[in-house]
Amino acid sequence: MATTLTRTIEEKQTPAAVKPGVLFRADQSGVEFRQRFVHSEANLQFLDCGEYRLAPQAKSTALSLPGRESLLFMWKGEAAVEVNGREFHLAPYDTLYIPRSAEFVISNEGDTPAAIIQTSAPAENVHPVFHSKFAEFSQREERIRSLSGKNVYMMFDVSEGADKLVAGYTFFEPYARSWPPHNHTDQEETYIFIKGHGSMEVYESPEKLTFVHNVQEGDLVTIPFLNYHPVFSQESPLEFIWCIAGERYWVGDKNKAFMNASVDSLTT
């Protein structure tokens, strides 16, 4: 016992190794978060949206959205996300569901910058983490909805656990449009344009069609309840994220008239 005590005292008397300081330049990038909108300023009830930019070799502190569930969309580059002690590697266009209030850490271990889009909505329940890999899901027939001039990829569907969120990607061919126009009584949405350029309308009725805008990469549009929201591509393909908050369904799965375009407009 005396020997152990003597060794402990000696260890306490040994000075700890002195580590050097580190300089971080004012223009040096790390992990940056840009809030794109919160629901209250976007005429929505639930959805918030933001964007993480990660410099090469950057790693965030522990992040959390208290009382909210969220989805991460790997837009540019690749990243790793640690949630509840598990690490998930996100390749381009992968999607990761983060449960209500869960802490997560994002990092970019590569040599090029990365960008992640985040959407979130309030939730009462905790559901499992869910990682959907675009390279896999884009090849699975049950995850693809093919319409005239476009494909929809169901990345986070009703079969996955969540309180309010459903999400995916839509890829338009050149010179295509949404048809038939539709709106929702029980869902709000945002469209986040990630490649190409085109146009979008949002309106309550044709007589009140005042929102007509060209859209390009990085733009996003919010779609409050009961607004029609057609999209038009131009001379190049157009790709966008769509994220729903509210009742959990996709319009074409609920109403087959949307899939076969047998009506001029519809409301779900």
3-state helix, strand, coil in the chain (%, to 5): 15, 45, 45
The per-residue pLDDT for 14 is: 64
- CATH 2.60.120.10 domain span(s) along the chain: 31-132, 134-262
Specify the pLDDT at position 65.
Answer: 98
Q: Residue 126's closest CA among 62, 68, 50, 47?
A: 68
Nearest CA to 178 out of 243, 93, 261 is that of 261
Query: Is 3.40.640.10 the CATH number for 31-132?
Result: no
pLDDT given for residue 53 in this prediction: 97
Q: Where are the alpha helices (DSSP H) in the chain?
A: 2-13, 134-137, 251-254, 256-260
pLDDT of residue 11: 56
Cα 217 vs. chain centroid, distance in angstroms?
15
pLDDT at residue 1 greater than cutoff 60: no
Q: What percent of the chain has pLDDT over 90?
A: 88
Answer whether 43's CB lies under 8 Å from 224's CB.
yes
Instruction: State the pLDDT at residue 23.
Output: 83
Q: Mean pLDDT throughout 77-95?
A: 97
Task: Tell me whether residue 198 is exposed, middle or buried, using C-beta atoms within 10 angstroms of its C-beta: 0 to 12, 13 to 18, 19 or more.
Answer: buried
Mean pLDDT of the 62-77 span = 98
Asked if residues 238 and 193 have their Cβ atoms less than 8 Å apart, the reply is: yes
Look at the block and give the residue holding tokens 């402990």: 8
Reply yes or no on whether the pLDDT at 3 is more than 50.
no
Burial grade of 246 (CB within 10 A; 0-12, 13-18, 19 or more): buried
Q: Check pLDDT > 60 for residue 8.
A: no
- Give yes or no for residue 213 having a pLDDT over 80: yes
| Positive or negative torsion for Cα 86, 87, 91, 96 | positive
pLDDT, one tens digit per residue, over 31-44 is 999 999 999 999 99
The order of strands in the sheet holding 211-216 is: 211-216, 197-202, 231-233
Q: What confidence tens digit (pLDDT) does each residue in 43-58 have?
A: 999 999 999 999 999 9
Residue 2 confidence (pLDDT) above 50: no
Residue 123 has pLDDT above 70, yes or no: yes
Q: How confident is the model at residue 26 (pLDDT cuts 50, 70, 90)?
A: confident
Quick one: pLDDT band at residue 139, thresholds 50, 70, 90? very high
Q: 9-18, 74-83, 138-147 — which is least confidently predicted?
A: 9-18
Cα(213)–Cα(258) distance, integer angstroms: 24
What is the overall mean pLDDT for the chain? 94
What percent of the chain has pLDDT above 70? 94
* Element spanning 242, H or E: strand 238-246
Q: What is the pTM of this model?
A: 0.91
> Is residue 13 scored above 80 in pLDDT?
no
- Identify the pLDDT of residue 27: 78
Q: How many residues in total does the chain contain?
A: 268
CATH code, residues 134-262: 2.60.120.10
Q: Strand 114-122 to strand 130-132: parallel, antiparallel, or no bridges (unpaired)?
A: unpaired
DSSP class per residue in 119-184: EEEE-SS----EEE-HHHHTT-GGGEEEETTEEEEEEE-TTS--SSEEEEEEEEPTT-B--S-EE-
